Chain A
Amino acid sequence: MGLIARVIETFGIPTICVIGLREIAERVRPPRAIHLKWPFGHPLGEPGNRAQQLCVIYIALQALYTVRESGTIIDPGWRWRREEYEEPDRWDLP
């Protein structure tokens, strides 16, 4: 996935990757990444947990504006099934 992001970015389109394996991202170095140490197949969280999914999308889109250095990996530290999420109420980024 990081390889695809790099290609898209060379076409002038900013990308944000949600990643589960930091070690792979450190090798492939996608332009920007959100690291969530969650099970494979669950990059945005648990089925039915809309607030969690929207929180991941929000923090990912936010990174499109905040990351200034290529290869940056943001780790929000959200633990699997041990966090409470609230739907973002404002999306006026940046």
Chain B
Amino acid sequence: MSYLDDLYQEIILDHSKKPRNFKELSDANHKADGYNPLCGDKVSVYLKLEDGFVEDISFMGSGCAISTASASLMTQTLKGKSLGEIETLFKNFHNLVTGKSSASTELGKLAVFHGVSQFPVRVKCATLVWHTLQAAIKSKPETVSTE
């Protein structure tokens, strides 16, 4: 498999063309906007947190295949997860895409992003939504407007 096939795996292409949870969340209680001024990628993360668990999560935005698929697969993976689990997942995901470690079992489908590690300039594409998620978690609850 070439580096390119490794990067653009079928599941990544599928999620980039048909992103899941790609909508505004009307009852979200946390939200944050992420922006990469270098490439113009934009993402908004909508989060409904209940007692430290992700009850629901969605995203909106525009970006490349890697950033869109990353957002789509992240939202799928995080439903029902606790804040503690999210922290661990992000750490593992970051290590995966920067080539510091191989995929751990808890990453599940997110393991498809291992190919990103061969493309250092694309790491930011894969992690933008995760950084935005962190900002959403830290944002004050119930200040979200979906206007």
Q: Do A and B come from one complex?
A: no
